Structure 1
Amino acid sequence: MTDPAAPRLLDPGFDLTLRPMRYPQFYEMYRDAVRNTWTVEEVDFALDVNDLKHKLGPAERHLIERLVAFFATGDSIVSNNLVLNLYQHINAPEARMYLSRQLYEEALHVQFYLTLLDTYLPDPVARAKAFAAIENIPSIRAKAAFCFRWMDSIQSLQRLGTRDDRRRFLLNLVCFACCIEGLFFFAAFAYVYYLRSRGLLHGLASGTNWVFRDESGHMAFAFEVIRTARSEEPDLFDADLQAQVVRMLEDAVECEMAFAEDVLSGGVAGLSTRDMRQYLQYVADQRLAQLGLPRHFGASNPFAFMDLQDVQEVTNFFERRVSAYQVGVQGEVAFDAAF
């Protein structure tokens, strides 16, 4: 039985006691993440270089340039929010163990995208422009502004002393789980797997498989923090906060649609902005369902190429966390048809 005197997950403080462990689910998530260890050196970009030179037209090259420009800073933004806003307020040492592992994984993603940019954009001027995307590419600047708005919303919070403080914290967590990792990155993954369905850029797709697994674990952790906080303080997640979450996802869909219009501006066969909007709405509905909220958009997945990925482990990443990892897994990494 839980000690009634023990702090709740979002109570101010810095509990250091791992035994008795109050939230063993977070410790298990940490262990699962460790089993999923991979390195950037495992990803082979050799075939990608040939594809970029000989198989991609101008529209596809524009798509890739925008995509890698977003990747260049996306995970760094997530890392900053994790360090500045999440670690200090989630008051359980086993949960902070997972956050420490997540920070490592975000750094690994940054290394992966650094290697990706160095490989894909050998021209120093083009590479510098990609790394400065949040300053010089409007569609990416808008996505960064969306992220920073929610980071800044709790930047001044030193402790979650009031109900309103904890609600603000939960909105930040929902934003990063549902909108940034769960929508912006999932849209990027769709572009990657579309290209793979055409036999292109297998190195990028291979590395993205590992990133996808990591991001799925990050979302699962965030949703479990939210679920736990709601169970301990049911009044936090009232109708007003639920309405704020829906509006947040609506804003995120529109923000990502502006990026889609940029990415697809050259006309990419097999991808349309109409289908991309439907896909984003579909993903947003999955996120609402993971929060235990009604679906808002009522959209279905329009992308057949997302339905049939090569499967090594049958796992529905929209609905439950992954636990079947091993350190040093060899071969193709993939996920189930419910994607």
Structure 2
Amino acid sequence: MTTPSVPAEEKRLLDPGFELTLRPMRYPDFYEHYRNAIKNTWTVEEVDLASDVADLAKLTAEERHLLGRLVAFFATGDSIVSNNLVLTLYKHINSPEARLYLSRQLFEEAVHVQFYLTLLDTYLPDPEDRNAAFAAVENIPSIREKAQFCFRWINEVEKLDSLQTKADRRRFLLNLICFAACIEGLFFYGAFAYVYWFRSRGLLHGLATGTNWVFRDESMHMDFAFQVVDTVREEEPDLWDDELAAQVTGMLEEAVEAELQFARDLCGDGLPGMNTDSMRQYLECVADQRLARLGLPIRYGSENPFGFMELQGVQELTNFFERRVSAYQVAVEGTVSFDDDF
């Protein structure tokens, strides 16, 4: 289908086509996201997992089960995000500035995949155990349900060549919100909580160090995606109606339940400072934060039960910058706040 030519001043972010010109720059904020991401560079080789190997021997059977399930989810989680980024977001967000950022995000997802591969090689020396972890999306019900949730929203838009109708654009917005708010913003944040629970008990410092850096990347990914949503809502306010708002709320409710099933699998009857009830409260708190960021009423009214997550926003990041400011950060400006995320 041939798309009629549209004057530059009338073009919108989701209009079909493949805009190539960076000047005049229509979306300078997206370009700033790209520039800030470049400053935020790290490599897997900087993560020292040596002490983690000794810590593995200290874990109880229940803790080993939790850690095994966690790394099994990590094994493919970022790969799913990468596929959607390439097949959907890069295809339909018609802004060269935004595509610069998405290209950088794809690199970061590749680094995350390498980090999790390294975790699996370190934590699961037996090849059969590693193979089982990579097959978790087929063989472990709690992980399979989360993967199917992701695939369903990919399938909603994967076959769309262009966003020609309002219905198509709403489907795209739901896909974008799903990956920002539910997958990167809820599934991954649930996983981060388990990591920092171990860290609060003096265990798996290498895992926590790498997760600090993944966490920062994911926060930036969400911020970019939500800014895309803000831009689309400003350009096409009629796309965002009560029906779409209800779909977003329902999507987050479903994501909370899927992640809670994962928590039941990981926590069993409960561990010291980590159990299904506390994780439910935490997930509800995070879901409310995502809804509030989208300008929607909160759904749960829950508070964060994990004091170690509040500490993460203050102590861990401070220590991290003191330790890695020259190697990891390159002239980062501004501040990082964890309040809205946790």
**Moved segments of 4+, more than 4 Å:** 311-314, 334-337
Q: Distance in 2 between matches of 1:10 and 1:4?
A: 13
CA contact (8 A) 1:306 1:337 kept: no
CA apart distance, 1:98: 0.2
Do residues 50 (structure 1) and 54 (structure 2) align?
yes
Q: Which residue of 2 aligns with 1:320?
A: none
Q: Which residue of 2 aligns with 1:41?
A: 45
Per mean C-alpha deviation after superposition, the further-off stretch among 3-12 and 17-26 is 3-12
CA contact (8 A) 2:180 2:222 kept: yes
Of the candidates 153, 157, 174, which is equivalent to residue 154 of structure 1?
157
Q: Distance in 1 between matches of 2:239 and 2:150?
A: 23
Do residues 107 (structure 1) and 110 (structure 2) align?
yes
Of the candidates 167, 182, 186, which is equivalent to residue 183 of structure 1?
186
Q: Distance in 1 between matches of 2:326 and 2:228?
A: 26
Unaligned runs of 5+ in 1: 315-324
Instruction: Name the aligned partner's letter for residue 224 of structure 2.
Output: F
Q: How does 1:58-207 map to 2 (within 5 A)?
A: 58-207=61-210
Q: Deviations over 1:83-104 (max 9, x none)?
A: 0011010000000000000000
Q: Between Structure 1 and Structure 2, how many residues are aligned?
A: 323
CA apart distance, 1:329: 2.9
Q: Which residue of 1 aligns with 2:328?
A: 329
Higher normalized helix content (fraction of residues): 2
Q: Which residue of 2 aligns with 1:32?
A: 36
Q: Report the secondary structure of 2:91's partner residue.
A: coil
Do residues 230 (structure 1) and 229 (structure 2) align?
no
Q: Which residue of 1 aligns with 2:276?
A: 273
**For the structure 1 residues 256 and 295, does the alpha-carbon distance in structure 2 shift closer, same or farther, using more than 3 Å as the test?**
same
CA contact (8 A) 1:118 1:127 kept: yes
**For the structure 1 residues 255 and 312, does the alpha-carbon distance in structure 2 shift closer, same or farther, using more than 3 Å as the test?**
closer
Per mean C-alpha deviation after superposition, the further-off stretch among 174-183 and 269-278 is 269-278
Q: How does 1:298-337 map to 2 (within 5 A)?
A: 298-309=301-312, 310-312=315-317, 328-329=327-328
Instruction: Compute the RMSD of aligned alpha carbons.
Output: 1.7
**For the structure 1 residues 90 and 326, does the alpha-carbon distance in structure 2 shift closer, same or farther, using more than 3 Å as the test?**
farther
Q: Report the secondary structure of 1:13's partner residue.
A: coil
Do residues 21 (structure 1) and 25 (structure 2) align?
yes
Instruction: Name the aligned partner's letter for residue 146 of structure 1.
Output: F
TM-score (norm 1): 0.92
Q: Which residue of 1 aligns with 2:11?
A: 7
Q: How does 1:287-302 map to 2 (within 5 A)?
A: 287-302=290-305
Q: Distance in 2 between matches of 1:70 and 1:311?
A: 24
Q: Which residue of 2 aligns with 1:214?
A: 217
Instruction: Name the aligned partner's letter for residue 17 of structure 1.
Output: T
Instruction: Name the aligned partner's letter for residue 244 of structure 2.
Output: L
Q: Deviations over 1:301-323 (max 9, x none)?
A: 01111111215459xxxxxxxxx
CA contact (8 A) 2:270 2:276 kept: no
Q: Deviations over 1:248-281 (max 9, x none)?
A: 0000000001100000115311111111111000
Q: Report the secondary structure of 1:230's partner residue.
A: helix
CA apart distance, 1:5: 3.7
TM-score (norm 2): 0.91
Do residues 259 (structure 1) and 262 (structure 2) align?
yes
Unaligned runs of 5+ in 2: 1-6, 330-334
Q: Deviations over 1:10-57 (max 9, x none)?
A: 11111101001000000000010000000000000000000001x110
